[in-house]
């Protein structure tokens, strides 16, 4: 089996690389990091108007390009390499993905054209203070009242949660547990009872927020999908989000390798470039191996997402686990190769180190996803049966 991008996908990558080199360079990333929004709104408007990225996964009948996950993976590898600060990931890979999978025709008609035009941003709010990533993470409550719903609870580490126009919120029926009783709701970011606060996180290239839900009243039309059937939708969305994030991680890991090789050629010690030392060569060779292996895992998972392959849940967790480890390893090695200057503000390496650590834990760390793989291929069930026997 051969995995290769077609001519259009390569063109998408080239166009992205050229745009990001101009509009997401080190100076622009630092400026966006320092802003409360976390991104340059003018750049976001240009991304939507000139490049059409927000329309990528939106079907043509809603004003989108109607492309697939392979195209998305190709693009996200480039945005990850340039640490693009924008609501693209949260809007397309989280919020719009949930809307595409579970939204009614009326909900899609209302929101997707605005998403495709870059005029409406979305995100997903489901994790809470317990720090879990499975169905047990959901503690916020949804109760029926006056023909609609009332939401109460708190969500944390919500990507772009402080700026998103629309939140996809996971909440459960009172008395429900685990995967049962979970529902998804479309909540306007400025709805009465919604309080949002920017969190001081280590990685400021992807802003995250705390979202308080204080008896937020919603009409029945705010329900996304079937009542009580939200976890099945959410699980599918998270699998695809893990694939998307793995592509970003590949791009970041590749950039760490490129920066390390370039620095090793220029840094002189004992009268010669440090890249000539065997220890540095070994580090770079190991980084290359991990980058290429991560790329293969990400591309394979992207193909599975594009074709709705039955193995997608397993491949998504495999890609997320391996790419998380590979990115963080490459970022840490890049710091070592650069020496003390790697953690100084003037160099970019520390930005990738922080993004690597943040991405490692987003949607569950490598250990969590390895456990998911074991469960999804039946190893967990067999171990349990043997233990009970």
3-class SS of residue 138:
coil
CATH class of residue range 7-120:
mainly alpha
Q: Which residue, 197, 365, 335, is CA-closest to 257? A: 335
What are the structural domain ranges in the chain?
A: 7-120, 123-227, 232-388
Q: Which two tokens stand for residue 268?
A: 């002189």
Q: Which of 48, 15, 16, 42 is nearest to 28 (CA)?
A: 42
Are 123-227 and 232-388 the same fold in CATH?
A: no
Q: Spell out the per-residue pLDDT of the chain, length 389, in tens.
A: 566 789 999 999 999 999 999 999 999 999 999 999 999 999 999 999 999 999 999 999 999 999 999 999 999 999 999 999 999 999 999 999 999 999 999 999 999 999 999 999 999 999 999 989 999 999 999 999 988 999 999 999 999 999 999 999 999 999 999 999 999 999 999 999 999 999 999 999 999 999 999 999 999 999 999 999 999 999 999 999 999 999 999 999 999 999 999 999 888 788 888 787 889 999 999 999 999 999 999 999 999 999 999 999 999 999 999 999 999 999 999 999 998 787 787 889 999 999 999 999 999 999 999 999 999 998 864 433 333 33
DSSP letter at 216?
A: E
**Beta strand spans in 57-192 (E):** 122-125, 141-145, 148-159, 166-172, 182-188
Give the span between the Cα atoms of 119 and 142, in whole angstroms: 29
Architecture, CATH, for domain 123-227: Beta Barrel (2.40)
Could you tell me the pTM of the whole model?
Answer: 0.94
- CATH node for 232-388: 1.20.140.10
Token pair 């008896």 in the structure block, residue: 215
Angle, CA of 197, 201 and 203, to the nearest 5°: 130
| Cα(132)–Cα(85) distance, integer angstroms | 26
């Amino acid at each position: 089996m051969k995995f290769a991008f077609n001519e259009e996908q390569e063109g998408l990558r080239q166009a992205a690389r050229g745009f990001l080199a101009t509009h997401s360079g080190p100076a622009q990333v630092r400026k966006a990091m320092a802003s409360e929004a976390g991104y340059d709104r003018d750049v976001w408007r240009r991304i939507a108007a000139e490049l059409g990225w927000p329309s990528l996964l939106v079907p043509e009948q809603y004003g989108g390009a109607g492309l697939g996950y392979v195209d998305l993976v190709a693009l996200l590898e480039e945005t990850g390499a340039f640490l693009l600060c924008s609501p693209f990931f949260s809007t397309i890979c989280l919020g719009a993905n949930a809307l595409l999978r579970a939204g009614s025709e009326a909900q899609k008609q209302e929101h997707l054209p605005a998403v495709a035009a870059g005029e409406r941003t979305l995100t997903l709010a489901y994790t809470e203070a317990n720090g879990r990533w499975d169905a047990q993470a959901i503690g916020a409550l949804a109760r029926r009242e006056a023909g609609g719903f009332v939401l109460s609870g708190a969500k944390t580490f919500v990507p772009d949660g402080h700026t998103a126009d629309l939140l996809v919120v996971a909440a459960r029926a009172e008395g429900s547990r685990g995967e049962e009783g979970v529902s998804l709701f479309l909540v306007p970011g400025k709805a009465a009872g919604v309080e949002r606060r920017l969190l001081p996180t280590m990685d400021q290239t992807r802003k995250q927020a705390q979202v308080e839900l204080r008896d937020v009243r919603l009409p029945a039309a705010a329900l996304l999908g079937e009542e009580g059937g939200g976890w099945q939708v959410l699980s599918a969305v998270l699998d695809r989000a893990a694939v998307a994030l793995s592509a970003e991680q590949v791009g970041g890991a590749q950039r760490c390798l490129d920066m390390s090789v370039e620095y090793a050629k220029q840094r002189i010690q004992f009268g010669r470039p440090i890249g000539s030392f065997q220890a540095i060569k070994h580090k770079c060779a190991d980084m290359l191996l991990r980058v290429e292996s991560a790329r293969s895992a990400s591309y394979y998972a992207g193909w599975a997402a594009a074709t709705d392959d039955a193995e997608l849940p397993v491949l998504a967790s495999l890609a997320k686990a391996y790419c998380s480890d590979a990115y963080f390893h490459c970022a840490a090695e890049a710091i070592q190769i650069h020496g003390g200057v790697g953690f100084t503000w003037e160099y970019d390496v520390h930005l990738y180190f922080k993004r690597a650590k943040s991405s490692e834990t987003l949607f569950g760390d490598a250990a969590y996803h390895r456990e998911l793989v074991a469960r999804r291929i039946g190893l967990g069930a067999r171990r349990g049966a043997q233990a009970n026997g």
